[in-house]
Amino acid sequence: MGFKMGIVGMPNVGKSTLFNALTRTAAAQAANFPFCTIEPNVGEVAVPDARLDKLAEIASSKSIIPTRMTFVDIAGLVKGASKGEGLGNQFLANIRETDAIAHVLRCFEDGDVTHVDGRVDPVADAETIETELMLADLESIEKRLQNLVRKVKGGDKDAVQQVRLLEAAKAALEDGKPARVLEIDEDDVKAWKMLQLLTTKPVLYVCNVGESEASEGNAHSAAVAEMAASQGNSHVIISAQIEEEISQLEDDEAQMFLEEMGLAEAGLDRLIKAGYALLHLETYFTVGPKEARAWTIKEGTSAPKAAGVIHGDFEKGFIRAETIAYDDFVSLGGEQAAKEAGKMRAEGKGYTVKDGDVLHFLFNN
């Protein structure tokens, strides 16, 4: 399990350039005119994790299989998208299928790249997109409430629950707030997710700055950071131009280029880390002579559920998980040494998997 992140934003903010760089493809056409992305481009990337390479080295694993993340490049939204302006309706539907939204904001000045509104104001752009998503949600909620009237009168419990949740979301939206601000009871979480409201998606603001501003940002990205903090959202500073350049280089050359630009790591790495934090994801590993593999799970996942990520039968027939902490595996030099040192634990169904755990599952067929 990786996760799917939709890349959204106004036209000409650098979405497709960033997508090309992240997926190391030229699948998305990056052009200086609105709606150059007519179909959502989907690309998968390996999630970089130095721990996986280290584990494979120690275990002499023949292959390394990282977990994967999916990016969806969704065409530029404009004011009125919720009413079908531009290519709005089609792309609002595509956003529903993602786990989170990477909202790319233009934080660079460039007279050669036109802005659809004729000015550079990332905070205003963010508000435009948020407003369109909120309006789309309100329209969707109104239709659903009308369709549920008969079921509610008939005493349908699921319909009653849906109406209660939709009314709560409607009240928040009419108050000018996205649906994600609502605190949802545990009993309602599943039904809430099924509503697939656009404004429940977690948002990561991606500040696209010029090459010379990639390490520190600028006044525009500072304004976005302030906005994100006030909303409880996250932000990252990336230069799509730099990402596109390093995506064409070999690893050693790319590292040298990053160092010259004063950057500790590639924007892809920072974007994925921020995405993991946003969605409360973590990684566990399975390691052996054949392969070293990373698996993505939600924070707080039980051992049987984590086993189920590999295969449903692992969860159904779960007996126990032989567990070694990453630091113990590395410092002691592998599974056998960790076992001899008493650092391998047998954990049962009640165990909550921790980030970096090296696991081996025992299960009944």
Domain parsing of the chain, residue ranges: 4-278, 300-363
DSSP 3-state percent helix, strand, coil across the chain (nearest 5): 45, 20, 35
* Distance of alpha carbon 232 from alpha carbon 319, whole angstroms: 40
pLDDT of residue 165: 96
3-class secondary structure, 319: strand
Look up residue 204 and give its two tokens: 């990561």
- The side-by-side arrangement of strands in the sheet containing 358-363 is 63-65, 291-298, 281-287, 358-363, 318-324, 345-347
* Structural contact between residues 168 and 181, judged by C-beta atoms closer than 8 angstroms: no
3-class secondary structure, 212: helix
> Which residue(s) pair with 298 in the sheet?
281
* Structural contact between residues 332 and 95, judged by C-beta atoms closer than 8 angstroms: no
pLDDT of residue 43: 81
- The CB density around residue 250, as the number of other CB atoms within 10 Å, is 9
* Structural contact between residues 264 and 258, judged by C-beta atoms closer than 8 angstroms: yes
pLDDT of residue 28: 40
pLDDT of residue 103: 92
Q: Which of 246, 242, 268, 244 is nearest to 255 (CA)?
A: 246
pLDDT of residue 269: 83
Q: Which residue has the tokens 């120690």?
A: 58
Longest dimension (CA), the chain: 68
Q: Which helix (H) or strand (E) holds 64?
A: strand 63-65
Return the CATH superfamily for domain 300-363: Beta-grasp domain (3.10.20.30)
* Distance of alpha carbon 131 from alpha carbon 140, whole angstroms: 14
- Cα-trace Rg, the chain: 23
Q: How far is CA 348 from CA 88, 303, 323, 364, in A?
A: 49, 7, 10, 14
Helix-helix angle 88-96:122-153, to 10 degrees: 70
* Distance of alpha carbon 240 from alpha carbon 110, whole angstroms: 14
Q: How far is CA 214 from CA 113, 208, 252, in A?
A: 18, 8, 20
pLDDT of residue 90: 59
CATH 3.40.50.300 fits 4-278, yes or no: yes
pLDDT by 10-residue block (mean), the chain, 365 residues: 80 83 55 42 82 96 90 69 51 80 89 64 91 89 92 90 96 94 93 92 93 91 94 90 85 86 84 86 96 95 96 93 97 96 96 97 89
pLDDT of residue 38: 40
pLDDT of residue 262: 83
